[in-house]
Structure formats: C-alpha cells, structure tokens
Amino acid sequence: MKQIISQFQVQGEPVSCERYGNGHINETYLLKTDAPHDYILQKVNRLVFPDIPNLMRNIIAVTSHLRRQTSDPRRVLTLVPTRDGGMYYVDSQGETWRVYEFVTDSICLDRPENERDLQQSGIAFGGFQNQLADFPAHTLTEIIPHFHDTPARYEQLKEAIRMDRAGRVKEAGAEIDAYLSYEKYADSLMKLLAKGDLPLRVTHNDTKLNNVLMDASTRTPLCVIDLDTVMPGLAANDFGDSIRFGAATAPEDEKNLDNVGMSLRLFEAYAQGFLSACGKRLTALEKETLPMGALLMTLECGSRFLADYFNGDVYFHNARPGQNLQRARTHVTMVRDMEGKLDRMRRIIQGLD
C-alpha cells in the first residue's frame, strides 16, 4: 500500500489505511496521515469498468463542471493528482488506483434514520441532476452500455440461468418464476424513450443513499459521490434507484421477508426533496413515470443480484455466501409491494406538483 500511496500528492506521512464503507463495487480505503487531512484511496473494479481511462475522463469532466458552480470544496469530489500530474495510477499488476480528498465532517448513511434523511438525499440527487442539466452529454463516454436497460438485464438473467455456471439454478426455481412473472414491466420506460417521449438527461445512475455525503452536524447534503456511472439516462431511474434502497423498510439483504416492503412515507419524503430540487426541469411525462422508475430499478437490480448469484458472485461484493440470493428475494418482494402501491405513489407525485 505504501508504494501505491507514495505515487499520489498526499500531505503528510501515512498513518493507517483501512477498508472503508459499504460499496459493492470498488475496493475503498480510508487513508489517514499525520497531516490534518484524510483521504479515500480506491482500487477501481476493472471487471466492472473495463474502460478506466474514459471512466476517469468522465469523472474529471463532471467534477470540473460541478466545481464551477460552487466555491465550497466540500460540495464536490476532489481527485488528488499523482506525483507525475496524472489523476490515477496503474500498478504493476495492472490495477488502477485513485485518491479523493476525504470530505471533512461528513457522514454517509446506509439507512435513513427518519424521513428527513431521505428527503435530504432527494435534494442531493435532484440538485445533482439540476447542476448537470447544461452539461454537454455527448462528451461523456457511456461507461457501461445498457446499464439501466431493463429488458437487456432480463436477457442477462436468462443467459445466467442457461449457463448455470455455479450449479445454483436448481435451488432457485421460485425466485426465477417470480422474476419472470414481472418481465411484463421491463420495457415500460425503454419504449417511451425509443419513441422519443422521454428525454435522455445526464444522470448519476447509482443513486443509493450511501452515495451521498451529508454534513455531520446538520445532516444536510454536501456532495454526491460514486460518479463512476454518470452517463446519459432517465430521470425516473435516478429517482427510482433511490427509492429502491432508501424507501425500503428493511436492508437490501434482509432475511425475514415479512419485514420487506416500500414505505409510502419515505417515498413521499424522497419525492418531495427530489422534485423541489429538479422538478422544474422535468416534463409532465417524466414526473408521471417516477413511480414506475422505482418499481423498475428494484426489479432490475434484483434481477442483477439473481444473475450474479447464478454466475458465482463475480460482480457484487458478497460478505457471506448466499447474500446475492437474499438480495434478489428482498427485491422481488419489494416489487410485489410496489405494484400494489403504484396508484398511491402516482397520487403522491401529483400532489407535490
């Protein structure tokens, strides 16, 4: 680690460097030095992100755009350059490393403690979309093509079932049937996009509550992080992925499915925050599609967990065996709950307009 850290222009001598956070993709470390400055060191997941030069180019472009809109360094991610002036370092094993300034006095939540926490994250992600409204989308590389193309994700699930690489398909007949029974929803938004009825915007695409940093004392948003998947996308997907994670009544991998569902109170809190920050930018149809975005992002993410389970847990970090299957079960349970709540979600959105 010392050799890697020494490549970057960090202040002071390293004191500790420990695994940090609950992200499912990159390997993240909190780097403390004897200077009054902490850093985030990350090994970028090269299986998930094969085109790292363009991934880093996207992040530099987006953070530069955001930095022009604020004078507060805590409100935008700051990359620390390498000694030779680059923005990342490739080690002798071919692994890519990058360093960010640790955003001081910030907290990162894995679950909202109350409605206000989720409303504040809605303000953060709505604000992010608002700040990027005039970003030239064509200059971004689509870093994972078809990232939120739910029909394509269904094809990947079916391929994983066909290949059965880990020999687990026989244990998961009920989950497969459940996912296939909801396939009817998969193209609901993609077909509106194809017809030109929904606009492509510059979106974050991974709007989990733990991808926003809050001020530790005020619990108001400071900055949106995890910019690896910023790409052209649908507003409803950014909205929906936040609901999937943040408005859930139980953690992503809850074992007791009786605890799993979507809270309409949390839904409303997020929607209020999100629309207050970017509602003026959205078309009437985009607003109408927000509840379907929540259902679709939950369905899609669950189908990705299930496919990864069948592929042998090669994509998402798993802390224990069977975690992906558990996640797939909670997600399809949540989809069932959301399906029954679609009308109420729609009325909430109309009421906020």
The residue among 234, 244, 343 whose CA lies nearest residue 297 is 244
| Residue 253 binds ligand ADP, judged by CB under 6 A | no
| Residue 48 binds ligand GN1, judged by CB under 6 A | yes
Query: What string marks each residue from 63 to 82 as x (binds ligand ADP by CB under 6 A) or -?
Result: --------------x-----
Q: Which helix (H) or strand (E) holds 44?
A: strand 38-44
**How many angstroms separate the CA atoms of 82 and 88, rounded?**
6
The count of residues interacting with ligand ADP (CB under 6 A) is: 19
Q: Return the residue of 117, 226, 241, 300 that touches Mg ion, per CB under 5 A.
A: 226
| Residue 211 binds ligand GN1, judged by CB under 6 A | yes
Token pair for residue 253? Answer: 């991998």
Q: In the 8-state DSSP scheme, what is residue 147?
A: T
Q: Which residues, 6+ apart, have CB-to-CB distance to 115 below 8 Å?
A: 265, 266, 268, 269
Give me the residue label for tokens 């400071």.
222
| Residue 102 binds ligand ADP, judged by CB under 6 A | yes
Choose the contact partner of 28 out of Mg ion, ligand GN1, ligand ADP, none; CB within 5 to 8 A by kind. ligand ADP
| Residue 23 binds ligand ADP, judged by CB under 6 A | yes
Segment contacting ligand ADP by CB under 6 A, of 1-9, 96-104, 133-141, 171-179? 96-104
Choose the contact partner of 301 out of ligand ADP, Mg ion, ligand GN1, none; CB within 5 to 8 A by kind. ligand GN1
Token pair for residue 79? Answer: 């990359």
Burial of 50 (0-12, 13-18, 19+ CB in 10 A): exposed
Distance, CA of 185 to chain centre: 21
**Residues facing 41 on adjacent strands:** 29, 99
Q: Specify the pairing of strand 201-203 against strand 221-224.
A: unpaired
Helix (H, G, I), strand (E, B) or coil at 306: helix
Choose the contact partner of 106 out of Mg ion, ligand GN1, ligand ADP, none; CB within 5 to 8 A by kind. ligand ADP
| Residue 246 binds Mg ion, judged by CB under 5 A | no
Q: From the CB of 225, what's the least distance to Mg ion, in Å?
A: 7
Query: What string marks each residue from 205 to 224 as x (binds Mg ion by CB under 5 A) or -?
Result: ------x-------------
**How many angstroms separate the CA atoms of 96 and 53, rounded?**
10
| Residue 149 binds ligand GN1, judged by CB under 6 A | no
**In this structure, what are the phi and psi dihedrals at residue 273, rounded to the nearest 5 degrees?**
-65, -45
Token pair for residue 4? Answer: 């890697």
Query: What string marks each residue from 259 to 288 as x (binds ligand GN1 by CB under 6 A) or -?
Result: ------------------------------
Segment contacting Mg ion by CB under 5 A, of 49-57, 193-201, 203-211, 228-236? 203-211
Token pair for residue 123? Answer: 């303000």
**How many angstroms separate the CA atoms of 253 and 321, rounded?**
12
Residues of this chain, 162-221, that bind ligand ADP according to CB under 6 A: 210-211, 213
Q: Which residue is nearest to ligand ADP (CB)?
A: 23
Segment contacting ligand ADP by CB under 6 A, of 25-33, 136-144, 249-257, 337-345? 25-33
| Residue 120 binds Mg ion, judged by CB under 5 A | no
Per 3-state DSSP, what percentage of the chain is helix, strand, and coil (rounded to 5)? 50, 15, 35
Query: What string marks each residue from 5 to 44 as x (binds ligand GN1 by CB under 6 A) or -?
Result: ------------------xxx-------------------
Instruction: Report the number of secondary-structure helices (H) and strands (E) in the chain.
Output: 11, 10
| Residue 100 binds ligand ADP, judged by CB under 6 A | yes
CA-CA-CA-CA dihedral for 203, 209, 213, 215, to nearest 10: 130
Interface residues with ligand ADP (CB under 6 A)? 20-21, 23-26, 28, 40, 77, 100, 102-103, 106, 108, 210-211, 213, 225-226
Q: Which residues contribute to the site for Mg ion (CB under 5 A)? A: 23, 211, 226
